[in-house]
């Protein structure tokens, strides 16, 4: 079924959704994005995604294309026009259309805004029952990974290489041997009932799901230690998992071919997934 998408002010069928070849996101990866999950036609963690979008735009001195209320209305219109029950909404802002130049285009160049929906199962996935296998790869991305840019070539290459090695995803490792995050998710280990994940910095994306899981877990008495871990520590952990808007909390059961704990999804991971789903659905808009 053809989707209705949103392109620079208009709702259009996907076949008619077109952007210029001079769009800065196309030529220079000069764009930022957000992905918001939809469950039961409602948006999960929407204010968090919009806050991070604003931050990404600010860090790159990009114009804000629409305020949060307008963006919420566009998201809701897309849910409604596509009868989207479960899936994702992808939003991308570009610096706009300008002659190819390393200098940013003149002030006042209108930003580009594109959104589309993707229907897919989120709540019930085979990966959650089975758990993911991850393979370590050097983190060769640029140094501002806290900004959610469309510059996704390296994460895409790393995930493809991980697949070629028989894994489901890549865990990226910095020069000191510490895991930064997954190709498109934040990474965690559990050891002696303590959940550990790397502290926020420019080295990794500040996951909206990460923040939500941590705050819901704290209310349940589960505390997180924000400290980096190595691949050796992950192999020696009792459990491991990832978080992202589309994966929620998904178990990781092996690292570089070595089983984590029992090699099955663990109880802390399962509990965190339940807590996240219950609490985030309560707050969905
Ligand atoms: N890290 C990276 C590199 C990502 O691409 C993502 C997914 N956007 C995440 C972490 C998880 O972020 P969120 O929970 O906001 O989806």
The domain that contains 46 carries what CATH number?
3.30.470.10
Q: Which atom of ligand 1 is nearest to the CA of 155?
A: 3
Give the separation between CA 35 and CA 119, rounded to whole angstroms.
Answer: 13
Count of domains in the chain?
2
Query: Confidence band (pLDDT; 50, 70, 90) for 62?
Result: very high
Domain termination residue (choose one: 58, 91, 119): 119
pLDDT tens track for 36-50: 999 999 999 999 999
Whether residue 191 sits in one domain with residue 106: no
The three-class DSSP label of residue 83 is coil
Predicted pLDDT of residue 176: 98
Whether residue 215 sits in one domain with residue 186: yes
Q: How far is the CA of 182 from the centre of ligand 1 (A)?
A: 8
Whether residue 79 sits in one domain with residue 174: no
Whether residue 112 sits in one domain with residue 132: no
Whether residue 193 sits in one domain with residue 159: yes
Whether residue 138 sits in one domain with residue 258: yes
Predicted pLDDT of residue 223: 87
The answer to whether 93 and 69 are in contact (CB under 8 A) is: no
Ligand 1 in reach of 56 Cβ (< 6 A): no
pLDDT at 229 over 90: yes
Whether residue 132 sits in one domain with residue 110: no
pLDDT at 212 over 90: yes
Query: Confidence band (pLDDT; 50, 70, 90) for 54?
Result: very high
The tokens for 1 are 């079924």
pLDDT tens track for 151-189: 999 999 999 999 999 999 999 999 999 999 999 999 999
Biggest distance spanned by C-alpha atoms of the chain: 57
Please state the rounded mean pLDDT for residues 265-279: 97
What is the pTM for the complete model shown? Answer: 0.97
Q: Give 199's DSSP letter.
A: P
Whether residue 113 sits in one domain with residue 135: no
Whether residue 105 sits in one domain with residue 148: no
Whether residue 165 sits in one domain with residue 112: no
The answer to whether 8 and 112 are in contact (CB under 8 A) is: yes
Please state the rounded mean pLDDT for residues 90-116: 97
Ligand 1 in reach of 209 Cβ (< 6 A): yes
Percent of the chain scoring above 70 in pLDDT: 100
Among candidates 43, 9, 22, which has minimal Cα distance to 246?
A: 43
Among candidates 129, 158, 220, 227, which has minimal Cα distance to 187?
A: 227
Instruction: List the domain range (segments joined by +) for residue 187.
Output: 126-283
- Using CA positions, which residue lies closest to atom 5 of ligand 1? 184
Whether residue 251 sits in one domain with residue 178: yes
Query: Confidence band (pLDDT; 50, 70, 90) for 280?
Result: very high
Is there a catalytic annotation at residue 54?
no
pLDDT at 82 over 80: yes
Whether residue 86 sits in one domain with residue 38: yes
Task: Identify the CATH number of the domain in which residue 227 sits.
Answer: 3.20.10.10
């Amino acid at each position: 079924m053809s989707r209705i998408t949103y392109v620079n002010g208009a709702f259009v069928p996907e076949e008619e959704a077109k952007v210029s070849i001079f769009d800065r996101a196309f030529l220079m990866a000069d764009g930022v994005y957000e992905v918001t999950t939809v469950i039961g036609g409602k948006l999960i963690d929407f204010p968090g995604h919009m806050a991070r979008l604003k931050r990404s735009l600010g860090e790159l001195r990009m114009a804000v294309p629409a305020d949060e209320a307008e963006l919420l209305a566009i998201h809701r219109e897309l849910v409604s026009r596509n009868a989207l029950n479960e899936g994702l909404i992808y939003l991308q802002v570009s610096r706009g259309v300008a002659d190819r130049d390393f200098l940013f285009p003149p002030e006042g160049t209108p930003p580009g805004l594109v959104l589309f929906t993707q229907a897919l199962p989120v709540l019930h996935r085979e990966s959650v029952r089975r758990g993911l296998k991850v393979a370590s790869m050097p983190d060769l991305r640029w140094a501002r990974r806290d900004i959610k840019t469309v510059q996704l070539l390296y994460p895409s290459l790393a995930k493809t290489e991980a697949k070629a090695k028989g894994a489901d995803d890549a865990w990226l490792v910095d020069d000191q041997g510490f895991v930064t995050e997954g190709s498109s998710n934040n990474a965690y280990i559990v050891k002696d009932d303590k959940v550990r994940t790397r502290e926020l910095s420019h080295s990794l994306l500040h996951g909206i799901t990460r923040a939500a899981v941590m705050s819901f877990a704290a209310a349940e008495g589960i505390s997180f230690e924000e400290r980096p871990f190595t691949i050796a520590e992950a192999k020696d952990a009792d459990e491991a998992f990832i978080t992202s808007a589309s994966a929620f909390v998904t178990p990781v059961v092996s690292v570089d071919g070595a089983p984590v704990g029992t090699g099955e999804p663990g109880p802390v991971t399962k509990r965190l997934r339940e807590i996240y789903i219950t609490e985030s659905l309560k707050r969905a808009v």
